[in-house]
Amino acid sequence: MKTLQLITCLLVFNFGHVIAQEQDSPTKIRQLLQEKQDDTTLIRLKRDLALHYRLQDTARAYDLLDEAMALSQSLSYEKGVGLINEARGEILYYHGFYEDAIQCFDRAINSYQEAGDERLKAGVIVDEGNANLFMARYDTALARYETALDLFTKHSDIPGMSRCLNNMGIIYKNYGWYNKALESYDKVEELYLRISDSTSLTDTYINTGVVYVLRGHYYLALEKFSKALEYAHMTGHMDRVAKSLLNIGVIHNKMQEYELALEYYSRSLKVSTALEDKVEISKALTNIGTNYIPMQQYDRAEDYIRRGLDLKNELGDLRSISNCYNYLGEIYFFKGAYDQAVRENRRAIELKHEVNDREGLTRCYTGMGQSYLEMGRLGLAAVYADSSLDLSLELGVLEQIVDAYAIQKEIMVKKGNFRQAYELSELHKSFSDSLMNENKARAVQEIEFKYKSEMLAEENERLRLQTELDGLLIDRHKKIIISVSAAIIMFGLALILLYLLNRREKHFSRSLRKKNQIITKQNIQLETLNNTKDKILSVVSHDLRGTIGNQLTALAVLAREDFKDEVERKLVFSRLANSATLSLEILENLAHWINLQEGKIEYMPEPGRVENILRAEIEYFSESLANKELKLIQELNASCKGYFDELMIRSVIRNLLSNAIKFSRRGGEISISTNRSGDQLNVGVKDQGIGMSEGEIRKLKRGEISKFRRGTENEKGSGLGLALIKDFLGYHNSELQLSSEPNRGTDVSFSLTCIDTETV
């Protein structure tokens, strides 16, 4: 079992302002306070000194802020009030009181708004986003960063823009959107290079390296972490030195260079201890512990991890606490205490769900699968291995993909299914090579590039020779034309005859071209239909195999296992229910699609009320909504009779509701609405889910049938429903109106014509 170190905790957050300790020392500030200062400068100096005391002497820090607040209020100095509330929020943040910190930040924002200072306001909005980010409220945090980014961009504030993009990258990373995260960090690096901000560049290199670690690109990650260490030494920021040393240790651990990793971890611990930085101390202790696991020094590993866990409990860092439980589960697994390993991983899973750590869940599911495999409980081992593999494939976490395939392979071996075990072994080997042999992969890419270059050169040479040959043929044709022309001039009768023959030939050529065009068009249509059919059959057969396989596995577990844990029982029933629902949805959509392609579906409109269909479909999905803890809001504000085909419109509404549920996060909201505009009845379905990118929207509007990404809880889908919606609405002279943004949800609607019953 390979250990994933505290990657999610190594990301560097950026506050909305540069704190005082990076500008003046406490001694210098105290000297300035003893000198005669104007009131506004005095307020700022007290604020700066309080920030220096925020960790070592909190009581002294609050006394200074109270003095500064009293002076600000006596002067009616709104900006000063904002500065003090911002500083109070930062102190509360550092001590883990995030809700209280947000309240202080809100008061600071109001003060800066009153003072008309948009830059300071934007800085505090970033602070508020950080607090929400630390509590795993990613949607709220992302909205704060986007608001601040607009303000900073308005004022061409490069440091502010960079901070927002940096923290947005952290959220993208936590969602598993690694490409978007890297794009954000690349923009940040470009901005910081433009203003030569070496300190912030260090943070950016650390964050970029973390994403590369998650992608399994260890050499690229090591390059970024080494740059970060170089800049940290150059600027004298020892806290960044500690972070960089810790991250370099992570890479050496991944490369199985455990002694070297231990050296870097120990150096990081020494620096963090000197700085009295509990956060970094806890990280170093935990990483040293996880490094001892593959060295088979389990008692030392447990000792270091529990020391780190004590600090993390003190700091209230739920994500890191859940990681520690996962690591303890790993230690107990290697000790052979499988029951204890399962208990620790269960505690980790509960916290992972609470902080929405999807990447961390893959590790916990893997740990559960491995423990149940060793206990001989193959059904539960398969359930957890499947869960880990599905989520790991979605997020692109190579390490957990490798481990999940290894568990599945061993399950098949124990069941005596050696053919499937061999197939899984090949998949395991393929992903292992991708993870552990990056240099080999690069060499293969270089060979492939050289091969393609040689092929391209050969193709160019062939084209050159063909061009020369075409030139010779053209010259020859010119000579023939000249000869024929001379003959025509000499023989007038031959000219007339040639003209008539040429005219007849052109007529024949035009007729032939038209026939060829018709044949070509028919061939293209036939080929497109065949390709679509093959694609549909491939997607549907793949999804049905997967869903039916999941149902069989879940049924086998229910038949064999005596559940003592409610979480496990719910997990098995949830997978069974989701798989059965999806199978029915796929088959229903496939039947509609086949009948539509074969012309067996007739457009048979009749007078009816859409709200009756809506209520029936809401009842149909009631259990799915309850299982996912979704709140359904009905805003049926209009009622009129329409003239429509009930089967088609029912299918449209069912697929729209299914997609809204599939792509909504647990505990979210879905709204269904109707409103009338003239003789049009508008029907809308809106969710607050993961949304769609511009590329996905373009594919949808082109009517492409494709396999879309999975739902928020790994629900699959063939994409057939979206194609049916487009075709069925076309019969009603209507089309799907859609607006969506990633992480902001999707709003879809369509219109039907209202009628009066007397005229039908």
CA dihedral 38, 41, 43, 49 (to 10 degrees): -130
Shared domain for 137 and 21, answered yes or no, is yes
Whether 481 shows a pLDDT value over 80: the answer reads no
Shared domain for 606 and 755, answered yes or no, is yes
Whether 484 shows a pLDDT value over 60: the answer reads no
690, part of any domain = yes
Mean pLDDT over 486-492 rounds to 57
208, part of any domain = no
Shared domain for 509 and 607, answered yes or no, is no
- pLDDT at position 133: 84
566, part of any domain = no
| Model pLDDT for residues 704-735, shown as the tens digit of each residue | 555 446 677 767 665 667 777 888 888 888 88
Distance of CA 614 to the CA centre of its chain: 32
Give the structural domain span for 454.
Answer: 439-517
- 614, two tokens: 């809506």
Question: In the chain, pLDDT over 90 holds for what percent of residues?
Answer: 23
- pLDDT at position 686: 94
| Model pLDDT for residues 691-707, shown as the tens digit of each residue | 888 777 777 766 555 54
194, part of any domain = no
Q: Which of 517, 547, 566 is the last residue of a domain?
A: 517
Shared domain for 502 and 610, answered yes or no, is no
Whether 10 shows a pLDDT value over 50: the answer reads no
Give dist(CA 255, CA 252) in Å, integer.
5
Q: Mean pLDDT in the chain?
A: 78
563 phi, psi to nearest 5 deg: -70, 130
Whether 680 shows a pLDDT value over 80: the answer reads yes
726, part of any domain = yes
Residue 376, number of CB atoms within 10 A of its CB: 9
Whether 655 shows a pLDDT value over 50: the answer reads yes
Shared domain for 501 and 608, answered yes or no, is no
Highest mean pLDDT (candidates 540-544, 619-623, 742-746): 742-746
Shared domain for 503 and 645, answered yes or no, is no
The residue length of the chain stands at 760
Residue 741 is inside which H or E element, if any? strand 737-741
- pLDDT at position 4: 40
Give the number of domains in the chain. Answer: 3
Mean pLDDT over 420-447 rounds to 60
92, part of any domain = yes
Mean pLDDT over 220-245 rounds to 90
- pLDDT at position 433: 67
Q: In the structure, what pLDDT confidence band is assigned to residue 462 with cuts at 50, 70 and 90?
A: low
| Model pLDDT for residues 351-392, shown as the tens digit of each residue | 988 888 888 899 899 999 999 999 999 889 899 988 888 888
CATH number at residue 664: 3.30.565.10
- pLDDT at position 9: 40
Q: Which of 469, 492, 517 is the last residue of a domain?
A: 517
Whether 349 shows a pLDDT value over 50: the answer reads yes
Out of 33-42, 154-163, 431-440, pick the least confident: 431-440
In this structure, the strands spanning 745-755 and 680-687 are antiparallel
- pLDDT at position 3: 39
Q: Write the burial class of residue 670 (CB in 10 Å: 0-12 exposed, 13-18 middle, 19+ buried).
A: buried
Q: Which of 517, 540, 574 is the last residue of a domain?
A: 517
Give dist(CA 160, CA 123) in Å, integer.
7
63, 257, 293, 314, 628 from 347: Cα distances, Å: 40, 30, 20, 18, 21
- pLDDT at position 694: 79
Q: Which residues contact 520 (CB under 8 A, 6 or more apart)?
A: none
Shared domain for 494 and 616, answered yes or no, is no
Shared domain for 507 and 622, answered yes or no, is no
Nearest in space to 717 (alpha carbons), one of 759, 760, 675, 655: 655
Q: Write the burial class of residue 649 (CB in 10 Å: 0-12 exposed, 13-18 middle, 19+ buried).
A: buried
Shared domain for 640 and 491, answered yes or no, is no
Q: In the structure, what pLDDT confidence band is assigned to residue 173 with cuts at 50, 70 and 90?
A: confident
548, part of any domain = no
Q: In the structure, what pLDDT confidence band is assigned to residue 687 with cuts at 50, 70 and 90?
A: very high
362, part of any domain = no
Shared domain for 509 and 614, answered yes or no, is no
Q: In the structure, what pLDDT confidence band is assigned to residue 63 with cuts at 50, 70 and 90?
A: confident
Shared domain for 144 and 15, answered yes or no, is yes
- pLDDT at position 290: 92
- 542, two tokens: 């793949």
Mean pLDDT over 445-454 rounds to 40
Shared domain for 476 and 613, answered yes or no, is no
| Model pLDDT for residues 282-332, shown as the tens digit of each residue | 999 999 999 999 999 999 999 999 999 999 898 888 888 999 999 999 999
